[in-house]
Each structure stands twice: as C-alpha cells, then as structure tokens.
C-alpha cells in the first residue's frame, strides 16, 4: 500500500511539473496577424502557469490559429479537428489549425488538461476605418491599444481616401503616402496598388499615418529559399511584380521532381497566392490565376525545372505568368539602358559598347508584339500603339542579348 501511494504521488507530482508552463503561452497564426513566433497574442497567468487567459483581443483575417507553449514551434499545437472553435483540446506539436471567427474574444487555456475555450468579448478601442481610394467597402483597421492601428495587404484601385472614426464625424487626410500631421476633415489621393496601412490615433491632433508598399515575393523548394526564405520581386507600376531571367535550381534538401512555389505578401503567410485548386492543380501550366490570396492561397504552383523564366505576378488580378526565356543572357553587366521607362510614347534603347542589331518587345504571355532591326548604338521603339502594362525587351547585339523590363503607361 505504501509503495502504491508513493507511486501515485510521484506520478501526480511529475504530471503537474510537466504540464505547467513557466514560459509564455501565445497564439500564433493569420488569425492574430501572421504565422510567427513567439506569436501575435501573449496570454497571462495568475496561478503559477496552469491557467492562461487574454481578454478582448481581436481575431482577424481567415482566423487560423494555434497555441504555443514557451513561444517555440516545437510546442505549437492545434485542435483534433476543424474548426475547433469556440472550444477544444490542443495536441502539442500537432493538431489542426483552430479556425476562429473574426471579432473580439476572451480566451482561457489550461496548460495541464490542454483544454481551451473562447467567449465573446467587446471591442475596447475606437473603430478606425479607411474609406475610399477605390475600395468597394470601408476596411477596418485593427488595434491592440486604441492608439496604433494597422491593416496589411489592402489593394487600392486608386482614388481619394480618408481615415474615419466610426460613430463620429471625424475624418483625417493629408499627403500621400505618409503624413505626420493629418488634417481633420482632409482627404488622401491614394495611388493604385497594394499597401500596408498604419494609423496612429493620439489623444491630441494631428494624427499620423503611413501607406507602406507591400513586398511581394516567391517562396518554395528552390535553392535560396527551401520554404524558409523569400525571393523578392520588383515593380515599377505597383501592379506587376516581376523578376527577369530567373533560372531556379533545386534546393539540396528537397527531391521534388517539379519546382514548387507560392507568391506571398510581406514575407508572411497571412496573404498568399497559389494555383486554383490543390497542390499542383495547374498541371505544370506556366500561367494561371491565384486562388483566395487572403484566405489560404490555393495549392502550391508546380512548374518544370531546368528552364529560365521571366516571372510576372499581377497583384491586382492574381494572374501569374512564367514566360520561358529561350537562350542565355551572355552579358554579365548591364550594357544596355532604356529611357524613359515607363513611357507613354516611345522607348529609347542605348548601348554602352557595340551597336544594337535588334530590339524585340514581348508581352507577359511571351508573345512578340513588336520587333525592330537596327545597326546603331541608339534605337527608338514606338510604343504608342501598345496597351498599358508591362513588357520585356530583348535587346540583341551580334550573338548576345540582354532582357530589359519595360512599361507602357
């Protein structure tokens, strides 16, 4: 009997020691602002690490979340099934994402039993929205303290916008893309494009805001990424995000027979873009349209290895194009230049060394739309008849060439 009693005490004591959490319990995921560690929401405990709580916090975006003990991926866990909301049981280092409902909530997490529950909370902060700018509807910004507000990856078609405070007549505006002294009653002339928007609501006027350009990148199984690092694309029109002459090679730790990738904003999974369907649903096609960029991004895009591509991703429509580059750019340095770029009328191509023998203009689908032979160091190409958008110019000198990205306004 004594031996059994000691065993029971030892087991109970050991269970308690292993179950309590001395480090922070957090929630990470797009529902709290992005998949990161230690997480977008930190819970607190008043009983030594058994019960962890948070009140009146906001679930945003697609609501996907997991709990994390001690703020590491090794202790991150989700529910046994979806949606796992408003209550469930966490499987540490496993489990499915908890699919929360956007809004304000209170949460309780038990580190011993791994049970959790969410109950309805209230918004403790003034509601700030961005209105106009070509948006179909006002977009509410999120805030944890009623002072700093933010909303990432908003695509503005362009137009006059303003910040408004719900339930009041207050609105603010000023210069674009940022203002340290916003004018009460003012407006903002927002350029078309995707932005991360930040607004500071101090007790006194004036207010401060920033429209920060979104960073668009590719991530995948290719060397230099390995699903852990991003390859940033560039843009000149805040719509088409591109990279030229990209020759991806397989990452040393992956053995996939195809190149797998996705596009995403701000180096985070909160806003991602893949093919329309599950992984590889594009069937190696080099063109497609992204599915549900903000709510999941569809499946991984599969394209063939061993080729060189010009890549174009339209952040407005979600269309993506991989145009195969036939041949190799033999110029190690940029021997050609083009100006003005963007242009409304014509481009002038100039060579720093040998004469230009031809200029070929190709659209983002790889179709040749214009070609001009020459034998001089400067060549003018009339673009007035082309539609607005991005093109690729293949500038040739003898048996060598260089591809330049050009834009028609």
> Is the bond into 340 cis (omega within 30 degrees of 0)?
yes
pLDDT for res 202? 86
Q: Is residue 330 part of a domain?
A: no
- Is 237 in the same domain as 253? yes
Dist CA 301 CA 303 (whole Å)? 7
Radius of gyration of the chain (CA): 27
Measured CA to CA in angstroms, residue 372 lies from 326, 342, 366 at distances of 18, 19, 17
Residues 77 and 55 in one domain: yes
236 and 173 in one domain? Answer: no
Closest CA to 194 of 211, 209, 208, 179: 211
Cα 143 from Cα 148, distance rounded (Å): 6
The residue written with tokens 């992005």 in the block is 34
Cβ proximity of 28 and 100 under 8 Å: no
pLDDT at position 292 is: 61
How many alpha carbons fall within 13 Å on the CB side of residue 120? 0
Query: How many domains, the chain?
Result: 4
Chain-centroid distance of CA 107 in Å reads 27
Tell which phi-psi region holds residue 63, choosing left (phi > 0), alpha (psi between -120 and 50) or beta: left
Residue 100 within any structural domain of the chain: yes
**Residue 220 is part of which domain span?**
216-324
Per-residue confidence (pLDDT) for residue 299, from 0 to 100: 92
Residue 283 sits in the same domain as residue 303: yes
Task: Answer whether 180's CB lies under 8 Å from 172's CB.
Answer: no
The encoded tokens of residue 349 equal 């191509």
Same domain for 111 and 29: yes
- What integer pLDDT is reported at residue 186 of this predicted model? 95
* Structural domain contains residue 288: yes
- Contacts (Cβ under 8 Å, ≥6 apart) of 3: none
Considering all CA atoms of the chain, what is the largest pairwise distance in Å, rounded to the nearest integer?
Answer: 102
Per-residue pLDDT at 144: 85
Half-sphere exposure of 12 (CA within 13 A, CB side): 6
> In this structure, are 207 and 220 located in the same domain?
no
The domain boundary, picked from 324, 348, 367, lies at 324
Is 18 inside a domain boundary?
Answer: yes
Give me 163's structure tokens.
Answer: 């910040």
- Tell whether 237 and 319 lie within a shared domain: yes
Contact status, residue 340 vs residue 408, Cβ threshold 8 Å: no
> CATH number for the domain including 346?
2.60.40.3080
Asked whether residue 273 is domain-assigned, the answer is yes
* CATH code assigned at 268: 2.60.40.3620
Q: Tens-of-pLDDT digits for all 409 residues of the chain?
A: 444 444 444 444 333 344 566 678 999 998 998 888 888 899 999 999 999 999 999 998 889 999 999 888 889 999 999 999 999 999 999 999 999 999 999 999 999 999 999 999 999 999 999 999 999 999 999 998 899 999 999 999 999 999 999 999 999 999 999 999 999 999 999 999 999 999 999 877 779 999 999 999 999 999 999 999 999 999 988 899 999 989 898 888 888 999 999 999 999 888 899 998 899 999 999 999 987 655 567 899 999 998 899 999 999 989 999 998 875 455 444 578 898 989 989 999 998 878 899 898 887 666 778 889 989 999 999 999 998 888 888 888 876 777 788 888 8
Does residue 27 form part of some domain?
yes
Closest among 133, 198, 138 to 166, alpha carbons compared: 138
Q: Among residues 96, 120, 144, which one ends one of the domains?
A: 120
329 in any annotated domain: no
- Residues 149 and 256 placed together within one structural domain of the fold: no
pTM assigned to the model = 0.69
Q: Which of 368, 371, 396 is closest to 381 using CA atoms?
A: 371
Residues 150 and 116 in one domain: no
Q: Are residues 87 and 20 in the same domain?
A: yes
Q: How far lies 385's CA from each of 338, 364, 366, 370, 380, in Å?
A: 18, 16, 18, 10, 14
Residue 368 neighbours by CB under 8 Å, 6+ apart = 360, 361, 362
Whether residue 331 is contained in a domain is answered as no
Q: Compute φ and ψ for 123, nearest 5 degrees.
A: -75, 115
Residue of 304, 299, 305, 303 lying closest to 250 (CA atoms):
305
**Same-domain status, 222 and 319:** yes
What is the rounded distance in angstroms from the CA atom of residue 388 to the CA atom of residue 386? 7
Where does a domain end: 324, 357, 381? 324
Whether residues 8 and 110 fall in one domain: yes
């Amino acid at each position: 009997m004594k031996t059994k009693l000691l065993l029971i005490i030892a087991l109970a004591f050991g269970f308690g020691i292993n179950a309590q959490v001395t480090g922070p319990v957090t929630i990470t995921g797009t529902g709290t602002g992005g998949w990161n560690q230690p997480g977008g929401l930190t819970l607190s405990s008043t009983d030594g690490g058994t019960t962890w709580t948070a009140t009146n916090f906001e679930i945003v975006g697609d609501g996907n979340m997991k709990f994390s003990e001690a703020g590491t991926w090794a202790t991150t866990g989700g529910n046994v099934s979806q949606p796992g909301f408003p209550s469930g049981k966490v499987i540490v280092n496993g489990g499915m994402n908890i699919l929360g409902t956007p809004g304000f909530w209170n949460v309780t997490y038990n580190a011993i039993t791994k049970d959790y529950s969410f109950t309805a909370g209230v918004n403790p902060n003034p509601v700030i929205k961005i209105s106009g700018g070509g948006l179909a509807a006002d977009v509410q910004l999120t805030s944890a303290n009623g002072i700093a507000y933010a909303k990432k990856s908003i695509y503005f078609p362009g137009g006059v916008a303003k910040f408004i405070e719900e339930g009041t007549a207050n609105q603010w505006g000023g210069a674009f893309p940022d203002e340290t002294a916003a004018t009460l009653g003012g407006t903002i002339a927002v350029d078309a494009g995707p932005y991360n928007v930040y607004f500071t609501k101090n007790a006194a006027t004036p207010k401060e805001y920033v429209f920060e350009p979104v960073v668009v990148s590719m991530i995948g199984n290719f060397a230099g990424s390995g699903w852990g690092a991003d390859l940033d694309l560039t843009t000149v029109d805040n719509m088409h995000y591109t990279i030229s002459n990209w020759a991806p090679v397989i990452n040393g730790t992956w053995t996939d027979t195809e190149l797998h990738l996705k596009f995403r904003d701000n180096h985070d999974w909160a806003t991602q873009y893949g093919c329309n369907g599950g992984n590889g649903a594009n069937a190696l096609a080099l063109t497609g349209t992204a599915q549900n960029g903000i709510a999941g991004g569809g499946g991984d895009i599969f394209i063939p290895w061993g080729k060189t591509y010009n890549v174009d991703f339209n952040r407005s429509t979600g269309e993506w194009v991989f145009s195969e580059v036939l041949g190799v750019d033999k110029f190690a340095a940029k021997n050609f230049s083009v100006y003005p770029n963007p242009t409304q009328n014509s481009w002038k191509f100039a060579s720093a060394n040998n004469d230009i023998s031809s200029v070929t203009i190709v659209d983002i689908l790889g179709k040749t739309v214009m070609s001009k032979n020459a034998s001089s160091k400067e060549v003018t190409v009339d673009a007035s008849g082309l539609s607005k958008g991005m093109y690729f110019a293949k500038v040739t000198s003898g048996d060598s060439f260089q591809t330049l990205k050009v834009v028609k306004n």
